[in-house]
Structure 1
Amino acid sequence: MILSLIFAVVASLLMALGLLMMKSRSSDLPMAAGANTIGAIVAWIRDPMWIGGLGVQTAGWACYVIAVSRAPVSMVAVMGQGGIALFVIASVLILGERASSREWVGIGAIVFGMVMLTLSLGGKEFEGKLESATMVTFAAVLTLAGLAPMAVARMNASGTAAAILSGVAFGLGALFTKAMTEAISAGDTASVAIRIVSSPYVYCTVAANIAGIVMLQNSFHSARAIIAMPLSGALSNIVPIIGGMIVFGERLPAGSIPAAMRVSAFILTIAAGALLAGSRQHVPGDPVVVGSLSKAKT
């Protein structure tokens, strides 16, 4: 169990570093939207810093897969919270970003909520079996909930809607990853290769993480990293914790104090997320478009 938690922490740090590298290029790369989506993604891939950041992210995800294959998904999700704090600090020191007093309250509340989640962990976290029908329903409901902020013009313009959707996508990706590892490690007569190819959760995991990366990179164009990352990161951890209880039958801690801390952390994180989502400040300047990027290179 300890080794799994170490892998979770390493995964969080690598993912934070990868995102910092990707954010540093947001002002020079195009947004993936509408007819320009494919062209924008190609431009991202051709950028050495961005693709390097994606490589670091992939290494972090590999560590996460190892961790989640050996421990309950809710436990792994909350043990990697150092990445959010590290990213916020790096955004201030390296990217030179600043936040208002209200935004610092929201950021601090998210970090505190994640700390409470970590402290609520016990040594005997219960892990049940996957309920496939429940997984499908939960994923559908969460997807609709994640898309809802995209209909709010102010949240769309500030980049917070994209950050929220990316967090939901990453969170669902974490749940799919857990389901994927269970399917691959199932003790039947099929070979590992066949189990990988035949598991729908493999494709769901890939799709969810790609969607999360695209939406988070889009949010970086309008939202400061110091806002986008805590929003996305908090949701990407809250979703698998709640999903772990609903889909995998994981339970709240047995003790009244740890259980109260976990529930309070849920409420605090959601309230803090709403505070950050209401921010009216955004990155100045117009988003880069594929056409102008091509002209600049010539």
Structure 2
Amino acid sequence: MICALGSAVCYGTASVLQAVAARAAEPGTGSGVDPALLLRALRQWRYVAGLALDGLGFVLQIVALRAVPIYAVGAALAASLAVTAVVAARLLRVRLSAREWSAVGVVCAGLALLALSSGAEGTEGGSTALRLAMLGVAVAVLLAGAVAGGLPDRPSALVLGFGAGTGFGVVEVSVRLIDGVTPGELVTNPAVYALLLGGGAAFLLLTSAFQRGSVTTATAGMVIGETIGPALVGVVWLGDRTRAGLGWLTVVGFAVAVAGALALARFGEAGVEETEGS
């Protein structure tokens, strides 16, 4: 859980840095899948710094996924939205209201409940059908991103964020579906390709989402995509369980953490434009 929370801090901080860089980059084609926009964003030092934090966060996430259930890691990563709000308040000069600070507290309370009730990760390896399904979802994320680019900015940011979250969710599940790391095992495992395609698609969509709408609108969609689906996969197909007699507390903790994160979707960021002009 410490690694999962550390990952959330890295991802939440990276989101703000990448959002500022994406806004400063020249407008792209308007498509939700725009590699050229990603390349232009990479010229910004903030985006590169955000990628470095993403890399560290991913390493911590893998360690966490190998030790605790997916639902616990997913809820912890939902806390990245709380981190995003707090960091944005500092870097983007945006004030958090009492309600938004309360939402940050709710997220922390939900994570505390999860820490108390989470059991060991499941021992089931997952079927070939599940591995292929993850690859199919990763492809669908790319297609959905292309379609979402034609929507108005605000709904586009939410849909692109959700698509990015789904891509990151594919990564979470795929990590659990990779058993061996020898070249032969990696080449023949569809989960490896799902991880690479899902992660790449997620970065493309999230960068577009940051340029099209607010940081927290995009991240709220991402939280939904990367928590609920992967948690269900972990419980239903990978054998994730809770501590004996504390299943209800896990459900409450998960719901509270995600609800608190989504409540922060109301957090505006009018200061982004001010920061860009300064």
Give the TM-score, by structure 2 length: 0.75
| Alignment-derived partner of residue 169 in structure 1 | 167
2:45 to 44, 48, 55: 48
Give the direction of change, closer, same or farther, for the CA distance of 1:158–1:103 in structure 2 (3 Å limit).
farther
Alpha carbons 2:110, 2:254 under 8 Å: kept: yes
The answer on 1:94 being equivalent to 2:91 is yes
Give the direction of change, closer, same or farther, for the CA distance of 1:177–1:201 in structure 2 (3 Å limit).
same
Alpha carbons 1:18, 1:56 under 8 Å: kept: yes
Unaligned runs of 5+ in 1: 185-191, 287-298
The answer on 1:251 being equivalent to 2:241 is yes
1:242 to 211, 232, 235: 232
SS of residue paired to 1:174 = helix
Give the direction of change, closer, same or farther, for the CA distance of 1:194–1:273 in structure 2 (3 Å limit).
same
| Alignment-derived partner of residue 121 in structure 1 | 118
Alpha carbons 2:78, 2:257 under 8 Å: kept: no
Give the direction of change, closer, same or farther, for the CA distance of 1:169–1:179 in structure 2 (3 Å limit).
same
Report the aligned-residue RMSD. Answer: 4.0
2:65 to 63, 68, 71: 68
Q: Show the 5 A alignment for 1:176-187.
A: 176-180=174-178, 182-184=179-181
Please list the CA deviations of residues 198-255 of structure 1 after superposition, one character each: whole Å capped at 9, or x if unmatched. 3222221111111112222222223322343244235423332222112312234431
| Alignment-derived partner of residue 190 in structure 2 | 200
Alpha carbons 1:116, 1:262 under 8 Å: kept: yes
Give the direction of change, closer, same or farther, for the CA distance of 1:99–1:141 in structure 2 (3 Å limit).
farther
Give, as a single letter, the amino acid of the residue that structure 2 aligns with 1:67: A
SS of residue paired to 2:34 = helix
The answer on 1:226 being equivalent to 2:220 is no
Shift of the alpha carbon at 1:179? 1.2
Give the direction of change, closer, same or farther, for the CA distance of 1:214–1:103 in structure 2 (3 Å limit).
farther
Alpha carbons 1:158, 1:280 under 8 Å: kept: no
Larger radius of gyration: 1
Alpha carbons 1:216, 1:228 under 8 Å: kept: yes
Identity %: 19
Give the direction of change, closer, same or farther, for the CA distance of 1:270–1:144 in structure 2 (3 Å limit).
farther
Shift of the alpha carbon at 1:57? 0.8
Shift of the alpha carbon at 1:64? 2.0
| Alignment-derived partner of residue 251 in structure 2 | 263
Give the TM-score, by structure 1 length: 0.71
| Alignment-derived partner of residue 289 in structure 1 | none
Distance in 2 of aligned mates of 1:178 and 1:35:
28
Distance in 2 of aligned mates of 1:155 and 1:42:
21
SS of residue paired to 2:23 = coil
Distance in 2 of aligned mates of 1:107 and 1:230:
13
Give the direction of change, closer, same or farther, for the CA distance of 1:285–1:266 in structure 2 (3 Å limit).
closer
Shift of the alpha carbon at 1:260? 1.8
Shift of the alpha carbon at 1:135? 4.7
Shift of the alpha carbon at 1:28? 0.9
Shift of the alpha carbon at 1:150? 4.1
Give the direction of change, closer, same or farther, for the CA distance of 1:116–1:285 in structure 2 (3 Å limit).
closer
1:14 to 6, 10, 14: 10
Give the direction of change, closer, same or farther, for the CA distance of 1:110–1:219 in structure 2 (3 Å limit).
farther
